């Protein structure tokens, strides 16, 4: 059983490594108004929304390692990882965008990544693929984190997180206010804060809706 290491760079940009496999989620584009400039080689790049805060796949090539880019709904198999993407809604600058919710299993750990989700009313298909993940990545910042992007607010995010019954919850796109509100809604006054999340499958035993806060590096 290999160790999974998750690193957070800010916004919704994550790196997930396990053995020789590197996955990346919603890398920030160079054109975005952001201080995030992480650059590394990835095997698979997940893009939920075609917008500069989430589609910077040029940041994910290094040497001979170039990612297979997944940027929309569908069924995928890359390097023995089976991935399902389902359409949902994102709201950016008052316009509707497609947001893809991704679900996959890596070394028996089920992961759901909700991306730039703006609406807690999601399809039955989305609910079915997300159901009971080991790790749930969920936006919680509402309209307060980015001027352009409207995301789930803390209350809606907490309600959705409880519905899915994940073992671990990783908030993203947050500030101090939205994080405090989210923890309050989840019934947790404090949550574990880490620079990197390192875990094995056995570490998930007995976990029920535990919030882990990853600090952006």
Domain coordinates in residue numbering, the chain: 4-214
How far apart CA 39 and CA 28 sit, in angstroms, is 10
| Beta strand segments in 56-185, E | 68-70, 74-78, 81-92, 95-106, 109-113, 135-139, 149-150, 168-172
Overall average pLDDT of the 35-41 stretch: 90
Closest CA to 106 of 199, 11, 18, 182: 18
Cα separations in angstroms, 69 against 16, 52, 90, 116? 15, 15, 19, 17
Closest CA to 199 of 67, 64, 109: 109
How far apart CA 79 and CA 76 sit, in angstroms, is 10
How far apart CA 202 and CA 36 sit, in angstroms, is 33
User: How big is the chain by its Cα radius of gyration, in Å?
Assistant: 16
Tokens 């890596």, located at residue = 106
What pLDDT, in 10s, does the model give residues 155-169?
999 999 999 999 999
What pLDDT, in 10s, does the model give residues 113-131?
999 999 999 999 999 999 9
pLDDT at 40 exceeding the cut of 80 = yes
The hierarchical CATH code for the domain 4-214 is: 3.60.15.10
Query: Cβ neighbours of residue 203 under 8 Å, at least 6 residues apart?
Result: none
**Average pLDDT along the chain:** 95
């Amino acid at each position: 059983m290999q160790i999974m290491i998750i690193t957070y760079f800010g916004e919704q940009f994550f790196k997930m490594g396990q053995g020789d496999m590197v996955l990346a989620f919603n890398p920030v584009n160079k054109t975005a108004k952001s201080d995030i400039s992480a650059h590394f080689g990835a095997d698979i790049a997940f893009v939920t929304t075609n917008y500069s805060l989430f589609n910077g796949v040029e940041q994910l090539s290094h040497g001979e390692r170039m990612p297979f880019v997944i940027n929309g709904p569908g069924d995928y198999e890359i390097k023995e990882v089976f991935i399902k993407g389902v359409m949902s809604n994102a709201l950016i600058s008052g316009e509707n965008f497609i947001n893809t919710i991704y679900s996959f299993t890596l070394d028996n750990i089920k992961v759901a990544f909700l991306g730039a989700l703006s609406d807690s009313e999601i399809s039955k298909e989305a609910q079915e693929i997300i159901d009971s993940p080991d790790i749930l990545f969920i936006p919680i910042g509402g309209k307060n984190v980015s001027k352009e992007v409207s995301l789930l607010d803390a209350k809606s995010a907490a309600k959705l997180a409880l519905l899915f019954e994940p073992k671990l919850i990783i908030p993203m796109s947050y500030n101090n206010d939205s994080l405090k509100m989210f923890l309050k809604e989840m019934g947790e006054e404090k949550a574990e804060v880490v620079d990197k999340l390192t875990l094995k499958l056995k570490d998930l035993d007995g976990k029920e809706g535990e919030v882990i806060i990853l600090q952006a590096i």
